[in-house]
């Protein structure tokens, strides 16, 4: 059977390279100050989606992302690897969303996309590590969910068989579709970009990314696939009260940089004498046995 697959992907600040201006005064993330990357576990999810598409001829994969206009890069990265389409949810009203407001926005977009069989994303994003958005989207759409997935093993009779991690082990579950699946970073890595697809889609942009003096204006008229779908809150019939900061029950009370309480420490070198003295001291004080 052919499947309509939506990949939930997020552009995230690369938290491995964080500077001092990383946070705003309100305690939310200042995304503009940081290098932005495709959330790693969403890449694992994309690979599972592309495999499912290959095994089920006639299927399509679309990338759904929410963020500022530059987050359209996530859609391009998906198209380069074999996705068919994408949707960028972008609106100032979406800004400052916690996981609940984010899942509300994604769920309304999925309703607008319509008739989706599989919604798949990474287990969690590296900027929050919460793992909440997948299950919250599933609940909002009234769908079943399989989290911590390692591999989609089978798609038969409108049901998926999925191997997933649990604490201390693994289990295999069978779920009806439509379903929301979240994928671990230990799942199969995503395939690289396909050179032909890069050539085809490298000028694909969302309207908000474009400036008036774009040299390729005529290209967008000739090739409609180079215009990425871009949706505002109104486009997905969203309730502004449930989006962004106003739709977020959690508030950041305080943010602080940790100052470690300095201890009085002994400083040693790696010399034989220093190490032997340390071991003798620890043994004498019965700290080690």
Partner 1 sequence: MNNVFVYCEIEGTTVAEVSQELLTKGRKLANQLNVELHAVVAGTGIKGNVETQILPYGVDKLFVFDAEGLFPYTSAPHTDILVNLFKEEQPQICLMGATVIGRDLGPRVSSSLTSGLTADCTELEIGDYDDKKSGTHYTNLLYQIRPAFGGNIVATIVNPDHRPQMATVRSGVMQKAVYEGEAKNETVYPDVTKYVPAEDYIVKVLDRHVEAAKHNLKGAPIVVAGGYGVGSKEGFDMLFQLAKELHGEVGASRAAVDAGWADHDRQIGQTGVTVHPKVYIACGISGQIQHIAGMQDSGIIISINNDPEAPINKIADYVITGTVEEVVPKLIKYYKQNSK
Question: Which tokens belong to 84?
Answer: 């068919």
CB of 74 to partner 1, least distance (A): 19
Q: Looking at 161, 194, 227, 232, which residue binds partner 1 (CB under 8 A)?
A: 161
Show the binding pattern over residues 58-97: x = contacts partner 1 (CB under 8 A), - = does not: ----------------------------------------
Nearest to 44 by CA among 141, 168, 134, 139: 134
Other CB atoms within a 10 A radius of the CB of residue 219 amount to 12
100 part of the interface to partner 1, by CB under 8 A: yes
88: Cα within 13 Å, side-chain hemisphere: 25
Question: 82-86: long-range contacts at Cβ-Cβ below 8 A with a sequence spacing of 24 or more?
Answer: 82/50, 82/53, 82/191, 82/194, 82/197, 83/7, 83/46, 83/49, 83/50, 84/60, 85/60, 85/61, 85/229, 86/62, 86/228, 86/229
178 part of the interface to partner 1, by CB under 8 A: no
117 part of the interface to partner 1, by CB under 8 A: no
Q: Looking at 48, 65, 99, 229, which residue binds partner 1 (CB under 8 A)?
A: 99
Question: Which tokens belong to 25?
Answer: 């005064």
Residues 179-238 that bind partner 1 (CB under 8 A): 186
Show the binding pattern over residues 15-44: x = contacts partner 1 (CB under 8 A), - = does not: xx-x---xx---x-x---------------
Query: Residue 38 contacts by C-beta under 8 Å, 6 or more apart in sequence?
Result: 9, 11, 12, 73, 74, 77
CB of 84 to partner 1, least distance (A): 28
135 part of the interface to partner 1, by CB under 8 A: yes
176 part of the interface to partner 1, by CB under 8 A: yes
240 part of the interface to partner 1, by CB under 8 A: no
Nearer to partner 1, 196 or 286 (CB): 286
Is residue 112 within 8 A of residue 236, CB to CB? The reply is yes
257 part of the interface to partner 1, by CB under 8 A: yes
Assign 161 to helix, strand or coil: strand
Nearer to partner 1, 72 or 152 (CB): 152
Strand partners, 62: 6, 85
Q: Looking at 55, 158, 172, 241, which residue binds partner 1 (CB under 8 A)?
A: 172
173 part of the interface to partner 1, by CB under 8 A: yes
């Amino acid at each position: 059977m052919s499947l309509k697959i939506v990949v939930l992907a997020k552009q995230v600040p690369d938290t491995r390279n964080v500077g001092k201006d990383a946070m705003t005064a309100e305690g939310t993330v200042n995304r503009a100050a940081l290098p932005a990357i495709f959330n790693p576990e969403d890449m694992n999810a994309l690979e599972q989606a592309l495999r499912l598409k290959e095994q089920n001829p006639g299927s399509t994969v679309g990338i759904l992302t929410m963020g500022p206009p530059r987050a359209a890069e996530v859609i391009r990265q998906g198209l380069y690897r074999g996705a068919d389409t994408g949707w960028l949810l972008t609106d100032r009203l979406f800004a400052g969303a916690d996981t609940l407001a984010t899942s509300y926005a994604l769920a309304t977009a999925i309703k607008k996309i319509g008739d989706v069989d599989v919604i798949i994303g990474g287990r969690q994003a590296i900027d929050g590590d919460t793992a909440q958005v997948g299950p919250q989207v599933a609940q909002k759409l009234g769908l079943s969910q399989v989290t911590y997935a390692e591999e989609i093993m089978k798609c038969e009779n409108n049901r998926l068989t999925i191997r997933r991690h649990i604490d201390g082990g693994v289990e295999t579950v069978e779920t009806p579709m439509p379903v929301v699946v979240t994928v671990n970073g230990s799942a199969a890595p995503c395939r690289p970009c396909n050179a032909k697809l890069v050539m085809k889609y490298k000028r694909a942009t969302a309207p908000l990314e474009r400036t008036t003096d774009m040299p390729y204006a005529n290209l967008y008229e000739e090739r409609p696939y180079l215009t990425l779908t871009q949706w505002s809150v109104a486009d997905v019939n969203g309730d502004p009260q449930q989006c962004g900061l106003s739709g977020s029950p959690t508030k950041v009370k305080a943010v602080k940089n940790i100052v470690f309480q300095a201890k009085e420490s002994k400083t040693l070198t790696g010399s034989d004498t220093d190490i032997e003295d340390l071991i003798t001291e620890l043994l004498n004080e019965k700290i080690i046995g």
